[in-house]
Chains A and B, each alone.
Chain A
Amino acid sequence: MPPRDSQRDQAELVILSLLEDGSRYGYAISKEVASRSDGMLRMTPGVLYPLLKALEADGLISSTWEEVKADDADPDDAGRKRKWYRLSAKGRKRLAQRVAAHRAWRAVIDAFIGERPEKEGAS
């Protein structure tokens, strides 16, 4: 059966991948998604935060609240708390499955389009 390739799964894959590199908070994730994809991928906050909540509810990520350091932001932010997310063991396993499934799926599609000249494929 081909892997489900829904937007939600893709977003999940992106978030889990980012968190594999280290813990992050929501706004940093949204900025990094945009910058690493050269703006091709945009995760709106209306999608991102409920998804983080769902991933946390599923035990794939965990979170902690940490105080914003004074040298990390403008003076208004000092003392405010940020919610940092990190990948859980279950999330790491899920990420490995997602990556494998994505690669397998990509290989299947490449088998059809791989040898086609790029120009033709784009038309």
Chain B
Amino acid sequence: MTSPLRITPSPTPGGPESHALPPRDSVRSWLHVMTRMLDAPDKERQSVADELEGHLRERVRDLMLAGSSEPDATRQAIAELGDAASLARRYQEAIAPSKRRFIMHVVALGVATAAVGLSGVAFLSRSEEPPPRNQVETLEDGVTKRFIEHLTLQQSPEWQRLRVEAMMSQPQPALEHSAELVEAYRLGALFQAQGDGLRTKVFEPPQDEAMSRAGDVKMKIEKGMTWRSIVDRIVQAGQGMTVRWGTLDAAGVSADANVGLSGEVSLAQIIRTQNEEAGGELISLRLEEESDSLSLASTEWFDRHECTLVTYDLTPLVDRRAERTGPSDAGEAINDASQIVMSLVYPDAWKDNGGDLAEIQKFDAKLFIKAPRRFHPHIKWVLDELLAAPDSRQSSIETRTRTGVPTLSDIPLIGRLYSRERDATSDVGRGPVTVRGLEGGRIELRGDRGTIVADEAVLTPAGEATGSQRAMLEKLVLKAEGAVPITVKAQDGRITLSNGETLRVADVVEIELPDGWWVRDEWNRHVVPADAPEPGGRVVTFTVPNGRLFGVWRNSGITGDRHEICPPGTPPTTPTTPTPPTTQPAGDTLPAAKPK
């Protein structure tokens, strides 16, 4: 690689001019991420988001009245809420205080295939004590894996160990775990869910013909009407209908029970209301095509009588896995696929998960799935997505290769982020990635292709946190190399780095200068001289405290709008030489502390 900056482009396509989303969008993105983690009905999530948005707006306005710029005020207001995962957990506890929290002794993370599916979590015991030190944690399969939505990694201050928090969709709101080391498998696959190549697709259930017919069957019903009288009315109106009262009764819906609605309503509305109140799909309706009549029974009854066996041929998936990781690992693709199906499609129904409605058998590249008829469209959608996923993964890997080292900013992150690049040339790794805590509270992720360091990382399989990056303070740590000067500029409250070939945007930049490199400001003053060697290298840190660039080297610093980092042999002239400010002595003072 010829570029002296081994950096990936800004996560926001388009460079510096597009990095600054309007602050209000930052707020919304952050709220979306936070509320997405709540295991609550949409209405509840919306209520939480509305209230927090109101708070953030008022807080931003107050901070701006006190003198902050809008981006700064927005960042601070969001930072005051803490990290999204913790806030979501606190809300979750408030919503469902009885839900249990477990401390895991063993955690590991795996991504079975491209975009979905984490494999491998087990909790061995419930304990408030941290596990013994110096123990490498490994991954085992377990019952909770399918509920992991994302992991938060950070150093635990009290344990001096790595804290791994898994947000669970259900039934537990969160799992906490402490470890010296955590092995995360195929972290590279997590990267692909984020960034330019992000491809999302939402499962749309097929149209339910029976319910759509029932939506047309409208009637005026009076308060206190029972199920039986409603069915009578429908039949009198000429719509054939069969009702299996026994199954409904077993499901807790008696023929003489009040339907609880009145006014002009459709049969579909009555059924939906009943199911919503029951908190699940208690009763279902079918359209008998031959007789053109409706059939009403408990969902469980239909599930048991409409079980169908379907084969799914996953040969392309298995072949691709064999190509990538060798033939001995190819069978794993089928295992992964079946795990994903059982995790995402009515998890409780599967025999492997303790249910009795559905089961999967694997043979070579085929899955034989016996399940209620209504499961199959969902299963097919998931498997179609797995078959389609490698395309996006492939392009993602190419992107990484082309642009250099992925940083933690490529992982969906929530909250503050500092990322660091090291001497890696490609992906962090698609084999096991080791995550460990470092001194100073940072986390190191080490893979077979490189190492990255961060303060906190949130890993999600679905990359929901794209927008939250607007609220992060991103730090780059780089080493200068090559033969081209690097321009450092303050722009829109952030720092842009450019060598004419690569552009990078960050909030804080720490750049190490090899021997012979020097730094000059826009008035051609040498902030860091070329002949000032220092053991361990010379490091200059740039920030943008007041919209202007502020460079610090050892205990001296200088402000300006543009600095240049020069390789040995750069001519000591500068294109423009305006009069330097008299209030700022050359490179030897720190600016006055910024008033709070």
Residues of chain A having any CB pair with chain B under 8 Å = 25-27, 30, 44-47, 49-51, 53-54, 57, 65, 73-74, 76-77, 80-83
Contact = CB atoms under 8 A, between A and B. Distances in A.
Interface in B369-392: none
Interface in B562-584: none
Contacts of A76: 57
The 5 closest A-B pairs by CB, nearest first: A50-B90, A54-B94, A46-B82, A53-B94, A50-B94
B97 A49 contact: no
B91 interface: yes
Contacts of A26: 51, 54-55
18 contacts: A30-B55, A44-B80, A44-B81, A44-B82, A45-B55, A45-B59, A45-B80, A46-B80, A46-B86, A49-B51, A49-B87, A50-B93, A51-B94, A53-B94, A54-B93, A57-B97, A76-B57, A82-B54
B56 to A, nearest CB: 8
Interface string B76-101: 00001110001100110111010000
B50 interface: yes
Nearest to B78: A45
A49 B93 CA distance: 12
Name A's interface SS: helix
Contact of B87 (A27, A46, A54): A46
Interface of B: 47-48, 50-52, 54-55, 57-59, 61, 80-82, 86-87, 90-91, 93-95, 97
A27 B82 contact: no
Nearest to B44: A53
Given A27-B58, A44-B82, A83-B51, 5 more contacts: A44-B80, A50-B90, A54-B97, A74-B61, A83-B54
Contacts of B87: 46, 49-50
A83 B47 contact: yes
Nearest to A56: B94
Contacts of B81: 44-46
Give the residue among B47, B48, B54, B59 with the most A Cβ atoms within 10 A: B54
Give the residue among A47, A53, A57 with the most B Cβ atoms within 10 A: A53
Name B's interface SS: helix
Contacts of A27: 54-55, 58-59
A77 B58 CA distance: 9
B463 to A, nearest CB: 24
A73 B47 CA distance: 21
A47 B97 CA distance: 15
Contacts of A46: 80-82, 86-87, 90
Given A44-B80, A44-B82, A57-B97, A49 B52 contact: yes
Contacts of A47: 90
A119 to B, nearest CB: 32
Nearest to B47: A83
A57 B80 CA distance: 24
A83 B55 CA distance: 10
Contacts of A82: 54
A76 B60 CA distance: 13
Contacts of B80: 44-46
A80 B58 CA distance: 12
A29 B58 CA distance: 13
A54 B58 CA distance: 23
Contacts of A50: 87, 90-91, 93-94
Contacts of B94: 50-51, 53-54, 57
B8 to A, nearest CB: 31
Contacts of B48: 49, 53
A107 to B, nearest CB: 31
Contacts of A80: 54, 57
Given A44-B82, A49-B52, A57 B95 contact: yes
Contacts of B97: 54, 57
Contacts of B51: 26, 49, 83
Nearest to B92: A50
Contacts of A57: 94-95, 97
Give the residue among A26, A44, A46, A77 with the most B Cβ atoms within 10 A: A46
A53 B61 CA distance: 24
A80 B86 CA distance: 27
A77 to B, nearest CB: 7
Nearest to A58: B97
Contacts of A30: 55
Contacts of B55: 26-27, 30, 45, 49
A47 B87 CA distance: 8
A77 B48 CA distance: 18
Contacts of A25: 54
